[in-house]
Structure 1
Amino acid sequence: MLELIYIAIAVLAIMLVASIWLISRKGIFEDQIRTKSVEAVWCTIQAENETDLNRAIKLFNKAEQLKGEIAGLIGESPDLEQLSLADSCCNLADKELKDMSLGELQRYYDQQNNIANIYNELYKGRN
């Protein structure tokens, strides 16, 4: 009976540590987004006030890169949406595709999408 109490206390302690860790991660995540947002705004303002064109372009590019990172962290990135669409276009419900090994699947998609021809054209003259 005493062992059961010790096990219950251990489980509660693990749950407490896990909840504290998850809450602290959320705060770190929000601070990271806030820091990147402030830096992106600062880069944009500096680029608008910069007299040197090359430096202004570098600051604008840095601001755009930070905006892309923020969109990726928030989950509103168009790049991430394209990846989710690529997964939905694959029809893995077919029984024969599920039974294929990894090599057979790779060969199947290579033949379906002409991957070998694309690589031959891409690396023509480099071999």
Structure 2
Amino acid sequence: MPVAFRILPRSGLVYTRFEDRILIDEIISTFREYSRHPDAHPAQKHLVDLSRVSAISWDYVKLMQLQALKAGFFCGGGSQTLKVYYCPTKLSLSVSKMILRSWDGVGSVVPILQQHQDDALSVLGLQQERFSNLLADHG
């Protein structure tokens, strides 16, 4: 699946990985699945791995629908959500910048772009230097 998430409760973190061609419908479906998960909550930190994205199909109407879903989940609870986007390639950086702009004016979400795994993990307060180590530590 091009979009998958994994909740790492001990770290208070959600790891989301995007692969291949990204379609907004798949992102919406995955976000709905995450928001209904019993371990999901708005204050969780998010690590979004865009390193394997090969293409993206933007549908701006559906993108606004996605942002409305996310705003409904993340806003209004009085907490802030740290979202770190790992974007080591030119395409992933471009996608990340568009995502970053979509969070303008949403004070409950703090989006940060990082181009190195160790920096992304450090910003999240984690000790691991590689995503594979983080995921292995959480079995």
TM-score of the pair, normalised by structure 2 = 0.18
Relative contact order (alpha carbons < 8 A, sep ≥ 6): 1 or 2 greater? 2
TM-score of the pair, normalised by structure 1 = 0.19
Greater per-residue strand proportion:
2
Greater per-residue helix proportion:
1
